[in-house]
Amino acid sequence: MRPESLLHLAGLSAAGPPQPLSGGDMGQVWRLGEYVVKTHPSPPPGLFPAEGRGLMLLAAAGARTPAVYWAGEEGIVLSYLPPGTENWEELATMLAHLHGKQSAAYGSSHPVFLGRFPLPPGRSKSWRSYWVEYRLEPLLAATRKAQADLAGHLERFIHTFEWPAEGPALIHGDLWSGNVLMTASGPALIDPSAWCGERALDLAMMRLFGGFPPAFWSAYEELRPVSAEVQEALPAYQLYFLLVHLHFFGAGYLSGIRRTLNHYGFI
């Protein structure tokens, strides 16, 4: 669908033609004046409404996000945030505050998406059972053939590893550096996979592909220290993101999965 058509569905209009923006690995993104429009040629049902819910959850918890003007099956319309200077200390403060928002249970009452991968709704007070059943097992099932000789090792690992738990907190859920914008108003979060989980997931993704400098980590650690147990488990939590990359982008991510299993002595 043309971006102008999505603005029309939202009851909005903008002067000038749409300008493509980067960050469209999981869709197509344009700027139209003060708005950003995202769509996809064949989105899975519920993708963009889930993104809208996630952004509003993060904003309600005090994180800076684009405003959500409209979200439907065809796409989503957001506010455009002009770029600004880097402020890693403010990002650390924002995330430390977000990760302090404790919940009564893990999960989400609505489906969430990791990229375009749908994850089921559900709630539980048990981290281990929720994490394995609602998050890891759907990804294991989707990537079974692609796992090659690692399938049995992965299955054994996820069911026997001692997953540390600090308590359910609101997380961004897909926090690589491309989902952080340094704007004129300060750091902002975009493209969430927001639900109540372990903050270790956000920290694991931030470590996986890099992009967050020492200034961020020192400021975050000062505000919300990370225990040695959680630090040691971060490579294990990275399997969640490696599996979804294996699903979408192929066997190039098997080496990372193999390294993780080897790190913990499972192969």
- pLDDT tens track for 27-50: 799 999 999 999 998 899 999 999
d(CA 57, CA 148): 38
Q: Is the pLDDT of residue 26 over 80?
A: no
At the top level of CATH, which class does the domain 3-79 belong to? alpha beta
Q: Is 202 a catalytic residue?
A: no
Q: Is the pLDDT of residue 86 over 60?
A: yes
Q: Is the pLDDT of residue 24 over 60?
A: no
- Listed in sequence order, the residues at least 6 apart from 257 whose beta carbon sits closer than 8 Å to its beta carbon are 147, 150, 154, 239, 242, 243, 246
190 class by beta-carbon count within 10 Å (0-12 exposed, 13-18 middle, 19+ buried): buried
Out of 149, 174, 191, 202, pick the active-site residue: 174
d(CA 31, CA 153): 45
- Listed in sequence order, the residues at least 6 apart from 2 whose beta carbon sits closer than 8 Å to its beta carbon are none
d(CA 113, CA 177): 18
- Percentage of the chain exceeding pLDDT 90: 90
Bridge partners of 189, per DSSP, are: 180
Q: What average pLDDT does range 50-79 have in this prediction? A: 97
48 class by beta-carbon count within 10 Å (0-12 exposed, 13-18 middle, 19+ buried): buried
Measured from the Cβ of residue 222, the count of other Cβ atoms closer than 10 Å reads 12
Q: What pLDDT does residue 16 have?
A: 75
Q: Is the pLDDT of residue 238 over 60?
A: yes
Q: Is the pLDDT of residue 2 over 90?
A: no
CB 201 within 8 A of CB 101: no
CB 200 within 8 A of CB 238: no
Domain regions of the chain by residue span: 3-79, 88-263
Q: What pLDDT does residue 13 have?
A: 87
Q: What pLDDT does residue 99 have?
A: 97
CATH of 88-263, one of 3.90.1200.10, 3.30.1490.20, 3.20.20.210, 3.40.50.10740: 3.90.1200.10
Q: What average pLDDT does range 184-208 have in this prediction? A: 98
Phi, psi of 113 (to 5 degrees): -125, 140
Q: What pLDDT does residue 17 have?
A: 86
Which position has the higher pLDDT, 13 or 157?
A: 157
